[in-house]
Structures are given as structure tokens and as C-alpha cells.
């Protein structure tokens, strides 16, 4: 178990922190940001987007890149990705060489438009619209989890994260294999359960509620923290307060509370640098085929690249590529900055 009172030097001197979900270490160098830092203030983005864009592949009624026409949808629209990364029924013969190993994969990819509105992002949608997005995540995991080993729900938001379109959307990739990150998390949670008889993330959550240092958002059913081992400056982890292993196990009340937490958290992000905060966000829950369901806790990771302003990002280069992940700003400092942000969206205040 983690001790609640660690020395202040953790906030001042270089040290490594362990990511208990991946088993990897992260180098922290807080001495590099010793002076109080106020971040550079940018004036709010001037670009005004229109609620419908005739050139957008995802707007209602428009034709997509391969010619298919979108229905005149309102709210959510799910469709099969026209350029899927995974295809059904692809077979490779296994390689005999231990040097050039290969595995056959099959799966499907879907795109999930969050709203018919081209100009809004998740934190700007009304709460009931965010609730419907959560509802569709749950439905998709239930449906595809029956067929595939792993269902990855995710959103790449913003050009900085490689999103191809500003229309609010996420993706669903389902495949017949367990990807690397899931294997790591499965192993770490299983090992902890074997040793302690309790869930890794349930114990971690208890610690974070007691310490409050890294808490950003909390409500009746969920919380969001900048995890102890965060790599990205403002990375967060969303956890359910009740022990639930997978999306298929959450109640209607928990879905509503999750929508509320997400809207607040993502609004804080946008307010931090007065910009539409880019990130990659995704959900991890127990794989349906897992033999270790009792050790798993459902959770979401949010990985935003921004560091100091709407345009200054953290790069994962030199040392990160060649040695290990490193950060300057401590997770405690990042959580404090996010807590100071309002849950009222800056665009709604300045309009």
C-alpha cells in the first residue's frame, strides 16, 4: 500500500514514479519548474465555426469520402469506418521464423459522431447529449464484446492529436486479439489481486480520495485524478467509486454521473488555456474473455499533449524515446491548476 505522507522532496527533487497499471517507471524532474509559473495567457480563440459545414464528411446529409451518404441525423450517428484499420476474416499463415513473427488479426472499426452540430465538442454539448454518448459507449461495448476479444472506445480530439475532422466524433475498434496496453494492465491488476486479494485500482482510488492532492473532479459515482505516475502534463484517470470491471456493469445513475463528470473535467481542460483542449481519451475495462474479471476496474485515460499554453506542447522525444518517460510539472501541481479552473465553459462566459 502507498503511504499517505511522503517527503516534500518528492515535489522538489528528481525521482521516478511507478505506473502501477503498466509496470513502467516515469522520471519526474520538478526542480526544473521550481519558480512559480503562471502559464502564458492566450486570448480566447477567435475562429467561429458554423453548426453545419457542407464540406464535412461527418455532418448530417453530406456524402462521405467513399460516396456513402450520411442520414439527416440528430444526436448520435454510428457508422462503419470507410477506411478501417482492421478487417474481418484476414488469415496469414504463421511464420516459422522466430525473428519475423506474425499473427493474423480480424476486427471491425466504427466511427461515432457525438452530435449533428459541427461546431461543438463534448464539453460544450448539453449534459443530456453527453449522457447519450456514454449510453452508446456502453451499448457498443456490450454488442461488440460478445464477438471480439477487445473493444477499444476512444476519441482523438484536435489537429494536434491527428484528428482528421473538427466535427465531434470518436472511434470504436474491435479486434480478435488483446492489444499490448491491455495485456500489461491485465497482468498488473491480476498480479496485485493475487498478492493482496483486493483490486489494484480500488485501493489506489481510496488513497486518492484520502489524500486529495491529485483529485480534479469527484461526484457521487466517479472521480478524476492526475495519476501519481502521469506522463503527459495534464493527464487524467477516471475511475468509478464502486468496484465495476467493465462498461457493461454500470447502472443508469452511474452513466448520468459519468456524463456530468466528463463535462466538468473537459470544461476545466478547455478553460486552462482558453482553447479547445486536444487529447486522446479512451476506455479500459475487463476483456470479455478474461479469466481475471475480479481483478479489473473500469477506467478511462485522458492524454492531452499541451504543457504551457494553447500552442506549447510536450514532446515525447529524445530521452522519452530512448530511455523512459519524463516530466517536469508534478502531477500534484497539474491537478491544482485544473482544480482552479471553472466548470463554466469560457466560450459561454465570453459570448
The correct pick among 59, 130, 202, 245 for binding Zn ion (CB under 5 A) is 59
Residues within window 110-139 making contact with ligand H2U, judged by CB under 6 A: 111
77 binds, among Zn ion, ligand H2U, none (CB under 5 to 8 A by kind): none
Residues with Cβ within 8 Å of 46's Cβ and at least 6 positions away in sequence, in order, are: none
Cβ-based neighbour number of residue 180 at 10 Å: 9
Name the E strands within 97-243. Answer: 107-113, 150-157, 169-175, 215-218, 222-225, 236-240
Question: Please, which residues bridge with residue 28 across strands?
Answer: 15, 327
Q: How far apart are CA 158 and CA 278, in angstroms?
A: 5
The correct pick among 19, 28, 152, 156 for binding ligand H2U (CB under 6 A) is 156
Residues within window 136-195 making contact with Zn ion, judged by CB under 5 A: 167
280 binding ligand H2U? (CB under 6 A): no
The correct pick among 115, 171, 275, 286 for binding ligand H2U (CB under 6 A) is 171
Minimum CB distance to ligand H2U, residue 156 (Å): 4
Total residues at interface with Zn ion (CB under 5 A): 6
64 binding ligand H2U? (CB under 6 A): yes
Q: How far apart are CA 171 and CA 216, in angstroms?
A: 26
Name the E strands within 21-149. Answer: 25-28, 77-80, 107-113
Q: Which stretch binds ligand H2U (CB under 6 A): 145-153, 161-169, 283-291, 335-343?
A: 161-169
164 binding ligand H2U? (CB under 6 A): yes
- List the one residue out of 310, 50, 262, 270 whose CA is nearest residue 167: 50
What is the grid cell recorded at 29? 524532474
Binding site for ligand H2U (CB under 6 A): 57, 64-65, 81-83, 111, 156, 163-165, 171
Amino acid at each position: 500500500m502507498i503511504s499517505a505522507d511522503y517527503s516534500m522532496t518528492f515535489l522538489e527533487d528528481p525521482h521516478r514514479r511507478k505506473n502501477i497499471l503498466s509496470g513502467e517507471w516515469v522520471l519526474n524532474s520538478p526542480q526544473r519548474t521550481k519558480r512559480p509559473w503562471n502559464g502564458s495567457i492566450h486570448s480566447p480563440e477567435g475562429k467561429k465555426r458554423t453548426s453545419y459545414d457542407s464540406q464535412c464528411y461527418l455532418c448530417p446529409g453530406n456524402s462521405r469520402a467513399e460516396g456513402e451518404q450520411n442520414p439527416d441525423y440528430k444526436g448520435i450517428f454510428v457508422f462503419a469506418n470507410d477506411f478501417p484499420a482492421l478487417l474481418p476474416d484476414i488469415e496469414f499463415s504463421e511464420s516459422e521464423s522466430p525473428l519475423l513473427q506474425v499473427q493474423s488479426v480480424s476486427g471491425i472499426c466504427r466511427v461515432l459522431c457525438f452530435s449533428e452540430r459541427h461546431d461543438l465538442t463534448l464539453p460544450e454539448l448539453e449534459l443530456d447529449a453527453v449522457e447519450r454518448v456514454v449510453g452508446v459507449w456502453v451499448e457498443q461495448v456490450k454488442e461488440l464484446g460478445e464477438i471480439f476479444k477487445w473493444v477499444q472506445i476512444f476519441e482523438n480530439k484536435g489537429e494536434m492529436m491527428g484528428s482528421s475532422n473538427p466535427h465531434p466524433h470518436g472511434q470504436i475498434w474491435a479486434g480478435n486479439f488483446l492489444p499490448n496496453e491491455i495485456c500489461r494492465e491485465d497482468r498488473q491488476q491480476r498480479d496485485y489481486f493475487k498478492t493482496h486479494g483486493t483490486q489494484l485500482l480500488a485501493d489506489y482510488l481510496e488513497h486518492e480520495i484520502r489524500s486529495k492532492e491529485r483529485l480534479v473532479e469527484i461526484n457521487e459515482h466517479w472521480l478524476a485524478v492526475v495519476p501519481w505516475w502521469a506522463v503527459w502534463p495534464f493527464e487524467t484517470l477516471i475511475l468509478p467509486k464502486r468496484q465495476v470491471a467493465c462498461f457493461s456493469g454500470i447502472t443508469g445513475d452511474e452513466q448520468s454521473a459519468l456524463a456530468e463528470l466528463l463535462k466538468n473535467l473537459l470544461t476545466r481542460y478547455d478553460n486552462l488555456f482558453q482553447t479547445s483542449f486536444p487529447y486522446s481519451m479512451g476506455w479500459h475495462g475487463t476483456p470479455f474473455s478474461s479469466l481475471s474479471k475480479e481483478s479489473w476496474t473500469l477506467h478511462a485515460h485522458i492524454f492531452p499533449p499541451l504543457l504551457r499554453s494553447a500552442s506549447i506542447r510536450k514532446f515525447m522525444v529524445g530521452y522519452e524515446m530512448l530511455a523512459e518517460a519524463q516530466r517536469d510539472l508534478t502531477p500534484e501541481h497539474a491537478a491544482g491548476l485544473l482544480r482552479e479552473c471553472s466548470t463554466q465553459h469560457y466560450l459561454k462566459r465570453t459570448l
